[in-house]
Amino acid sequence: MPKAGAAQAARVTIRPHRSYRTLRVSRVSWLGSAVTLPIGVLLAYAALLVLWPRATAWMSALLAQSTPITRNVPDNFLFIASTVPIPNLPPLSVFGALDVAGLCAAAILLAGFYAKKNAPLPLWIIGNLIVLLITALWAFFEGRAGYDGPTYMLLLERTSVIMILCSPIFAVVVAALLPFTLLERVTLFTLLIALDFFMSVLRLAVFALILTHTGVILETNLYLFLGPLIDVVYFIAVYSLVVVSLSRRLARTEDAWEWL
């Protein structure tokens, strides 16, 4: 004879279908969103004011030691001081550009062949090769392409500053869609700003190093392809980590849901 407790434990819980559920409106969560927006932007700005000058100065000094052909110049953008490494770009060889264009065309054909079987990765490569091909042809016909070293690095540095300042805004807008806890919001913001900060400094150094050896021919790829890609990937990676945490919590919390 089954015990009463066992019968109770075996009670069937009828759950409505997943299409019938929404999330309970959490005023606390929305208030959290509203509050974290100005706080996030202010924190990002404060971090830039305090840490950006030191980080860029340290990175530039390190780069100047290891790469003698790099020099450093100060910049001040939105009252944020920085030291920007300026690579001495090798002079543009017009016929070298033609060689690059030819190599790119051949590589595009090769990658196009493989793109049929395993499309996304070859397409990423082809996309970059096309940009490189355009840049090389432009350099061949115009004798120049893109920016000189100082202007390019300043563009890159200022773009990074704007990205760091904007990332909290996008984090808040995206986070407003789901009932994150304060801890999850703080985690999202902290990881995002810290990674953004670290990756931006690293990007300045790596791009300067690359351009020291390759010259202007790679500027377009680095600025319009690889740069945004780095930002996108870690933004979504951090977001997905926090969303997994949220989803696991919601799965355990009955009263988080409303059923239609």
Partner 1 sequence: MVVALNAWLTVVIALMSIYTIRHWVFTFSRVYGKQRMSFSDAYEEHPPSVTVLVPMHNEEKVAEACLDALLASEYPKDQLEIVAIDDQSADATNDILHAYIERHPQVKILTMAGPERGKANALNVALESVQSDFVLVFDADYTPGRGLIRTLINAFVDPEVGAVMGRVVPRNTSRSLLTRLLSMERAGGYQVDQQARYNFNLLPQYGGTVGGFRRRMLAELGGFDPHALAEDTELTAKIFQHGWKIVYDNRAECYEEVPEAWESRFKQLRRWSRGHNRVLWSHLFGLVTAPVLTIPQRIDAALLMLCYAVPPILLSGWLAAIALFLLGRLPYVGGVTLAFAVVLYNAFGNFAPVYQVATAEVLDGSTTRLLLLPYLFYMFPFNTWAITTGFIDAVGDIVKSRRGRWDKTARVGNAP
21 and 257 Cβ atoms separated by less than 8 Å:
yes
Contact 157, 204 (CB under 8 A): yes
Nearer to partner 1, 64 or 256 (CB): 256
To the nearest whole angstrom, how small is the minimum distance from the Cβ of residue 107 to partner 1? 16
Q: Which CB atom, from 54 or from 248, has the smaller least distance to partner 1?
A: 248
Q: Between residues 54 and 144, which has the closer beta carbon with respect to partner 1?
A: 144
CA–CA gap between residue 212 and residue 203 (Å, rounded): 14
Calculate Rg over the CA atoms of the chain: 25
Residue 117: φ, ψ to 5°: -90, -40
CA 72/CA 241 separation, integer angstroms: 37
Are the C-beta atoms of 135 and 221 separated by less than 8 Å? Answer: yes
Q: How far is the CB of 166 from partner 1 (least distance, A)?
A: 7
How many CB atoms within 10 Å of residue 123? 14
The first and second tokens of residue 184, run together, are: 């999850």
Closer residue to partner 1, CB minimum distance, 63 or 157:
157
The beta strands (E) that lie in 64-201 are given as 70-77, 80-87
Minimum gap (Å) between residue 162 Cβ and partner 1: 5
Interface residue list for partner 1 (CB under 8 A): 17-23, 25, 116-121, 123-124, 126-127, 131, 134-135, 138, 142, 144-147, 151, 155, 158-159, 162-163, 166, 170, 173-174, 176-178, 219-220, 223-224, 227-229, 231-233, 235-237, 239-241, 243-244, 246-248, 250-251, 260
Nearer of residues 61 and 244 to partner 1, judged by Cβ: 244
Nearer CB in complex with partner 1: 64/137: 137
Least separation in angstroms between residue 127's CB and partner 1 is: 5
Q: Quote the least distance from Cβ 204 to partner 1, whole Å.
A: 15
- In single-letter form, the type of residue at position 110 comes to L
108 vs 112: CA distance, rounded Å: 6
CB of 14 to partner 1, least distance (A): 15
Q: Between 59 and 238, whose beta carbon lies closer to partner 1?
A: 238
Could you give the 3-state DSSP secondary structure of residue 91? coil
Q: Helix (H, G, I), strand (E, B), or coil: what is residue 88?
A: coil
Nearest approach, Cβ of 90 to partner 1 (angstroms)? 18
